[in-house]
Amino acid sequence: MPLIRQIRSLWKLSQAGQIARRYFVTNGFDGALTMLGILLGFYTGGEVPLVVAISACLGAAVALGISGFTSALLSETEERKKELKELEESLVAPLEGSDYGKASQITPWVIAAINGLSPFLISLFIIAPLWLEEAGMGLPLPLGPLETGIAFSFLAILFLGIFLGRISGTFWLWSGLRAVLIGLVTAGIIFLIGGNT
Amino acid sequence: MAIVKRILLDVLKPHQPGALEFSQTLADLDPGYRVNLRVEEVDENTESVIVVIEGEDIRFEEIGQAIKKMGGTIHSVDEVEAEGSPPASSE
């Protein structure tokens, strides 16, 4: 069997594509909203040293990444084991050396990597303006680094919404704006809480 | 040793790979193989298929391994067509 077809077959067998897409959006959204929440918290809280904001955001990004990776790895491994066992019972034969056996071992790692990297990379993208400012390479924008970071959060949320619209076959702009609306509601709640403390 | 020209197998396999990919994989084992696959019964997790393979020299072991690798199991070999190989020349 040609190698490409084998890889494609394993990918198809494991149905990893659709699961990975779902996890990418779900956990990516987690990352974007968490960063939005932290940045808005700092923004409403008043003057905060940039290095503190970067450390807090980076800490949350790492935690989200590790949480995403480990939770997906544990749950997917168990889920795949269960599926493989059920299939083995139906076939009345072991599937250890088969493509199914291989797919059930590899897939949890691939999905875990996507689940972990998605919020981590999106968080890094969002805190990039803060980093650049701290490194003396601030973006030539009429906004401060915190405001730019908040704008980047909405950009990431819009991108995830559009991506979701593309895979679900709905109008991409509507899907993107709906995601932004969720971000705006979140921001409103944070402002409400932040303004009262 | 006689050469096998045609075999008919009763195979139980998972839904994936599908009939098309399953047949292509078996046909790819040898450029001369012709594969015919018919789905007989579909269950929740599995399907029973009848696979007919024709070729100049069918290597059953290799076919069995390929089916096993795709998660299938051969229930039975229902038909075989074999041809005696010509005796080796003494010259």
pLDDT tens-digit series, residues B70-86: 999 999 999 999 998 77
Total domains, chain B: 1
Residue B89, domain member (yes or no): no
**pLDDT tens across A95-148, in order?**
888 888 888 888 889 899 999 999 999 999 999 999 988 888 767 777 888 899
Range of the domain at B29: 3-83
Alpha carbon A133 to chain centroid distance? 25
Segments of chain A with pLDDT less than 50: none
Residue B88, domain member (yes or no): no
What is the CB-side half-sphere exposure of residue A57 using CA atoms within 13 A? 33
Residue B90, domain member (yes or no): no
Token look-up 């009345």 returns: A92
Partner-chain contact A99 B12, CB within 8 Å: no
Is pTM beyond 0.80 here?
no
**pLDDT tens across B23-62, in order?**
999 999 999 999 999 999 999 889 999 999 999 999 999 9
Taking the domains of chain A in order of start, what are their residue ranges? 18-196
Partner-chain contact A1 B43, CB within 8 Å: no
Distance CA A92, CA A95 (A): 10
SS3 content of chain A, % helix, strand, coil (to 5): 85, 0, 15
CA A89 to chain B, closest CA, distance in angstroms equals: 10
Exposure class string for A156-190: b at 16+ Cβ within 10 A, else e: bbbbbbbbbbeeeeeeeeebbeebbeebeebbeeb
What CATH number should be reported for the domain holding residue B75?
Answer: 3.30.70.1340
Residue A189 CB partners (closer than 8 Å, separation 6+): none
Q: How many CB pairs under 8 A join A and B?
A: 45
Q: Looking at beta carbons, which residues of chain A come within 8 Å of B70? A: 98-99
Please check whether residue B74 touches A, CB under 8 A: no
DSSP sequence for A5-28: HHHHHHHHHHTHHHHHHHHHHHHH
Amino acid at A107: T
Q: Is pLDDT at B69 greater than 60 in this prediction?
A: yes
CA A84 to chain B, closest CA, distance in angstroms equals: 10
> Are the CB atoms for A125 and A152 separated by under 8 Å?
yes
> What are the distances in angstroms from CA A28 to CA A35, A38, A126, A147?
11, 15, 12, 20
Q: What is the predicted pLDDT for the residue at A139? A: 72
Residue B91, domain member (yes or no): no
State which H helix or E strand residue A51 sits in. Answer: helix A50-91
Nearest CB neighbour to A91, from listed B14, B24, B28: B14
